[in-house]
Structure 1
Amino acid sequence: MTTVALAGPLTEAETLLTAADLIDRWGLCRDNYEGADESLCPAGAVAVALGYEANVWSAPTEAWEETGAYDLGFAALYALVESIGRWDMGPDDDWDGEALANYVAFWLVDVSPSAELVLQQMRDAAASLSSPAEQIGASA
């Protein structure tokens, strides 16, 4: 797959929105980071949005970690996982990027949400990252 050319550093919200756009364009992959048809799962799309291979979560490179892309991708995935809210995410749990990617994969398999629902979940998670807490509380 071709990686995405970035215009500059993205925020967590922009990363999720870009990842959602990639899935919207190339399709949703439910059983791997990237399908043979270049479809992407949300975790794979986050990696591609940051300019890396979709499967970088399972084999992190030094560049992935040293450039800050891992931390940015982790924060974006964490927001998505938190928005899904199906399982307890205790603060003492030792979460890493691959664990977050697996969490999303379990959601895709267990719930089998439509591609539209996945895209909406990603966009809602991005909105929660880009809205001040007061706005979130007021709209709830």
Structure 2
Amino acid sequence: MHWLIHWLDPLIFGTLGTMGFIVLWLSLERWLYFRSTDPDRFDSPEAARIETTRNLTLIASLAANAPYVGLLGTVLAIMLTFWQIGEAGNLSTQAIMLGLAMALKATAAGILVAIPGTLLYNVLLRKAEVIQLQVQARAQN
């Protein structure tokens, strides 16, 4: 348990930071791709669908799972708080509340990754749909 005390925050926040970085990186890549994409370059609506939705599933998956990673960090931190209190024999309200308050920061960090990730995914998905509809309209004419 002692190793977990020292490594829990770096593991959880490192994971969430990596997830957030990947979401931002892929979102920027997709945004730049959409800005430079001409719907006339696609041969078919299916080709447009394949190309425009690239990496969107990964963005959505990371954004959807960030709160769970944060929640895992919170649950483990609460377990560590109770373990430390039990080991020290210190059943003070202050020790419990301080430990619980610090444990919740992981959930907050997970939510901070999830909200912008979900917003970016929705914006990018809409841009992909618009391009797909433009290709489909052109194919019908």
The two structures share one fold, judged by TM-score above 0.5:
no
- Larger Cα-atom Rg: 2
Q: TM-score, normalised by structure 2?
A: 0.25
Structure of greater relative contact order (alpha carbons < 8 Å, 6+ residues apart): 2
